[in-house]
Copies of this chain bind each other. A is one copy, B any other.
Amino acid sequence: MTTSMNHVIGVDLGGTKTAAGVVAPSGEVLMSETIPTMNRAGGEAILDATAALITGLVERAADAGISVSGVGIGSAGVIDAVVGSVVSATDAIHGWAGTALVAGLSSRLSLTAPSVRTVRAVNDVHAHALGEAWLGAAAGSSSSLMVAFGTGVGGSFVLGGTPVLGHRFVGGHVGHFASPFAYTDGVALPCVCGGSGHVEAIASGPALYEAFLRFGGSAVDAVDTRGVFALASAAHDAAPAAGSADGRAAALCAIDVGAAAAGQAVGGLINILDPETVVISGGLADAGELWWKPMEFALRQELLAPLASVPVVRARLGNTAAIVGAAKLVLK
């Protein structure tokens, strides 16, 4: 059995789970594993668990004759990609801010997986976008803008194979600019960032559910964003009535407004950045035509004439995007 060099491990470290995979130089994910992120246990405990996850994969790879030379990490939070530390993070991962992510993993792996010589980290959204830019929906494009609409709204502009991380590694916070849709009766909706009137405050999944309630929907008809889509689908398909008539109307309105806000925001970003390809990702992008159609309509309405034919495509790699993108950080 010959040893295959130049394989690496990509890690997608999120608020609820951490997935890692052994990635070939081609980008193929050969084996992978997922663990819950110990999001209440503090940074050091997460590093211990992540190092164990990586070590296990290195050993599985070795059994298959594969040597792992590097680890790339896409992590929740603002990640200093030069120092390799967590600059800041929401409370979704308690004690994550301030963690010496790269140094802490490197020292642990030096004992358990000495073949790993390089460890790098970026924010998970940037890893996700890099994966799609390399092998997914934007493969072959010289530049791409990915915007993900899910629990939050985030994105990344990938230029010449490199995500634009920003001078303080805060770049890509595309959910935090003003949206005319994020005002009700002239009052700006509060945003999770502490500001108000932002895209995320109307176009994220949870914001869509809040809009449903504002439009007269009730928790009896739908308990979450998924429920809003189920209700709207039933209304749309003229299926046997699900929920109340008011609830169905509120669901359709909330989806229309959230999708229009999303599309208008992405359209404006296209005018600013002029990416070759635009990739839309996240749970809402996967929710079907009910969201996609008004989103793309609003997006195209925003575009300057020379941008009219910009391709706008759905993300393609699913959950492996961030693993593959993180791996790319350390692949030669």
Q: Which residues of A contact B (CB under 8 A)?
A: 78, 87-88, 141-143, 155, 157, 159, 164-174, 176-180, 182-183, 188, 193-195, 197-198, 264-265, 267-269, 271-276, 301-302, 304-307
Contacts and interface: CB of A to CB of B under 8 A. Distances in A.
Nearest to A165: B274
Nearest to A261: B178
Given A273-B171, A301-B195, A307-B170, A178 B178 contact: yes
| Interface hub of A142, A159, A168, A177 (most chain B Cβ within 10 A) | A177
Contact of A195 (B174, B195, B272, B302): B302
Contacts of A155: 272
Contact of A272 (B142, B171, B193): B171
A196 to B, nearest CB: 9
A167 B180 CA distance: 28
Q: Say how many copies of this protein the assembly contains.
A: 2
A142 B267 CA distance: 27
Nearest to A173: B271
Contact of A274 (B170, B273, B302): B170
Nearest to A144: B167
B88 A170 contact: no
A172 B78 CA distance: 26
Contacts of A157: 273
A137 to B, nearest CB: 15
A79 to B, nearest CB: 12
Contacts of A268: 176-178, 198
B170 A306 contact: yes
Contacts of A271: 170, 173-174, 176-177
Contact of A179 (B87, B178, B273, B274): B178
A305 B194 contact: yes
A304 B180 contact: no
B171 A274 contact: yes
A155 B170 CA distance: 20
Contact of A273 (B141, B166, B302): B166
